Structure 1
Amino acid sequence: MRTTSTLIGAAALTLALAACGAPSEQASGSADAGEGEGPLRVGVSPVPHGDILAFIEENLAEEAGLELEIQEIADYNTPNAALVDGDLDANYFQHRSFLNEWVENGPDAELTYVTDVHIERLGLYSETYESAGDLPTGAKIAVPNDPANLNRALSILEAEGLITVDPDAGETATEGDIVDNPNDLTVTPLEAAQLPRSLSDVDAAVINGNYAIEAQVTEDANVLAWEPEGEDYVHKYANGLVALDEGADDERVQLLAELLHDERVLEYIQQTWDGVVLAVDADGEISE
């Protein structure tokens, strides 16, 4: 069964880490989490997470003896809250940076990052230009406005020699930390979900892989550059399977973690989203 749940409207479609969860509004973990009975209820973002679990459900789960209940959730605030409330057994939509920030600002509950699955690469896209070097003086560049992905976006522009970012800003760098901008670029942070539809209004935009896929930007626009794969790239930015501490050893969760690294799944990711989504194998390495 693949169940689609649209739990929060478009207004909640934001990656702003500081806004993740309301500590005083969430309950603690439910008593039935991790009991290991019935279908495994997993909350996912529709693309590519939901597609990957649907592939497992259709091709691997029955043979492995795993029953899945896939709940597609359109926002980034609900999946962790639903896990804490006992409405889900696991979720698959976030990277460690997002999870850590949510836990810091969320309820008194312990969540475990079970395993890495894939990386959605940030790319610099343009409908007009074919390379970063083609961007004109004064070009308008849109970037994600949430802290983790804004820093990633700036790293792309810096790697292409378009700007220099203050090294002291670290992983919380914003457009205000640009110390050298020789081409007088205008860097404008926007809500990540709005970037694809804003592409026609700017010279280029740094867009999250999932939104680029959903809006067919990967097919209709030029990729000027991919984000650099720096130190701890997988550890920082891989999206993975998450469960409550007491549910992390649930045999259903562990079985799903194993299936997520099946060679057939790795191949499916590579063939379906070639270059945009990078599969991560069981050893935590990007699958070639």
Structure 2
Amino acid sequence: MSKFYKLIAVGTLTTLLVACGADEEAADETQTDENGDAAEEGEDTEAAEDEEPSELVVGATNVPHAEILEFAEDLLAEEGIELEIETFNDYALPNQALDNEDLDANFFQHRPFLADQLEEFEEYDIVEAGGVHIEPIGVYSQEYGSLEELPEGATILMSDSVADHGRVLTMFEEAGLIELGDVDGVEATMDDIEENPNDYEFEPQYEAALLPQAYENNEGDAVLINSNYAIDYDLSPLEDSIASESADADNPYVNVIAVNSEDEEDEDIATLMDVLQSDEVQEFIEEEYAGAVVPVEE
């Protein structure tokens, strides 16, 4: 081959090699960019997967409050909230724990009880986040089948919670057995009894959680028991009680979620309320408690 053609061949080969190198470099850069984007997207995905769920610590009495929360646990998990339930057997402790910020919320009390607590403990800055259900209070007796059968001088055992006294007295007034003064039923106390023709002896000094045991021991002629404690003691408020208060929309004793005021607008608390007031939870309450606990629509 002549030198002229050799020079052309060498030049052409060099050009091809340079061109190939440039293409490979461009390809590498393109691949790097693509890999970079992919890595970035992967990092975002991993970050989303590794993102810790929010945590809510809610205090509750065992039945039905803790049971309702347990049912709601998976629904809350779907919303990115991990629920921790702290159970209590005493009405005084959940608000103390909430005030101490050991809890994010509590679920055990009705509105009149919360109002009494706020009046008694002025340091509490607790507010209601919303209502969930009503637990109609029932009258239980080992000896008698109705309120009207109670004998003269019958002993009526009641909770020492003043917030429950109005609902008990209203039940007896509506049955025509006593007469109260000019007072709102929710606020009625023993002092508001104006007419007691059967000389009933109302004894409001029992801790609410101990009333089922008093009934079991056949203490008193009639015992007023909150539904949550009745159910926890395997008593059916519908089948075992001789009388029960109404659970209609006018019943003021709605059980609520309570929070510290600074958390009233918290997004996780709002989600908690959305879940507890959802169709799924309301259906659970209706099916699980068959009227002994009644969901509310708010």
1:121 aligns with 2:139: no
1:206 aligns with 2:224: yes
Q: Counterpart in 2 of 1:271?
A: 287
- Whichever structure has more helix as a proportion of its residues is 2
**Cα gap change, 1:141/1:252 in structure 2, threshold over 3 Å: closer, same or farther?**
same
1:131 aligns with 2:146: yes
Query: Can you list the C-alpha shifts for 1:28-78, whole angstroms capped at 9, x where unaligned?
Result: xxxxxxxx9741111111111100000111x42222322101111222222
Give how far 1:265 is off.
0.9
Q: Counterpart in 2 of 1:149?
A: 164
Greater shift after overlay, 128-137 or 216-225?
216-225
What amino acid maps onto 1:143 in structure 2?
Answer: M
Q: Counterpart in 2 of 1:190?
A: 205
CA RMSD in angstroms comes to: 2.4
Structure 2 residue runs of 5 or longer lacking an equivalent are 1-51
Q: Counterpart in 1 of 2:31?
A: none
Give how far 1:112 is off.
2.2
1:237 aligns with 2:256: no
Give how far 1:171 is off.
3.8
What amino acid maps onto 1:103 in structure 2?
Answer: L
Q: Counterpart in 2 of 1:30?
A: none
1:43 aligns with 2:56: no
1:179 aligns with 2:194: yes
Give how far 1:210 is off.
1.1
| Secondary structure at the counterpart of residue 130 of structure 2 | strand
Q: Counterpart in 2 of 1:65?
A: 80
Structure 1 residue runs of 5 or longer lacking an equivalent are 1-35
**Cα gap change, 1:131/1:107 in structure 2, threshold over 3 Å: closer, same or farther?**
closer
Query: Can you list the C-alpha shifts for 1:98-144, whole angstroms capped at 9, x where unaligned?
Result: 22232233354532211100111111112222222222233222122
| Secondary structure at the counterpart of residue 223 of structure 1 | coil
Q: Counterpart in 1 of 2:32?
A: none
Q: Counterpart in 1 of 2:89?
A: 74
Identity within the alignment, %: 39
Using structure 1 for the length normalisation, give the TM-score: 0.76
Give how far 1:267 is off.
1.3
How far apart are the structure 1 equivalents of 2:120 and 2:96? 12
**Rg (Cα) greater in structure:** 2
Tell me if structure 1 keeps the 8 A contact 2:53–2:82: no
Using structure 2 for the length normalisation, give the TM-score: 0.74
Q: Counterpart in 2 of 1:32?
A: none
What amino acid maps onto 2:253 in structure 1?
Answer: Y
Q: Counterpart in 1 of 2:116?
A: 101
How far apart are the structure 1 equivalents of 2:259 and 2:144? 43
